[in-house]
Amino acid sequence: MALRTITSKHRDLQQISIYVPSRSTSTRDQETVSRQWMDLDRLLVQVWESHAIRTKVICGAAEKKVMCGYIGSLLPEITKRGIIELVESV
């Protein structure tokens, strides 16, 4: 929801970071979760197109290898465009 409020007045915004927890505690159904990731993907593309803001996905060291394997299916458009960076949390 916060990303939807970004306007041209937000000139200081330089980066968007998404922290992916090591385990999901969500009880939502898979269809709902998939739709939310796709909505987020479209929104991140819009933010990048209008503000040139890249996205970082942060995960633990153990999860990074797994995330690399399926981040393209969670966020396909920003992955395809190369406007995403996968980093380990410290």
Domain spans, the chain:
31-90
CB 80 within 8 A of CB 71: no
Give the tokens for residue 32.
């709902």
Q: What is the pLDDT at residue 9?
A: 73
List average pLDDT for each run of 10 residues in the chain, which is 90 residues long: 74 82 63 89 90 85 70 89 86
CB contact at 8 A, 64 and 86: yes
Length of the chain: 90
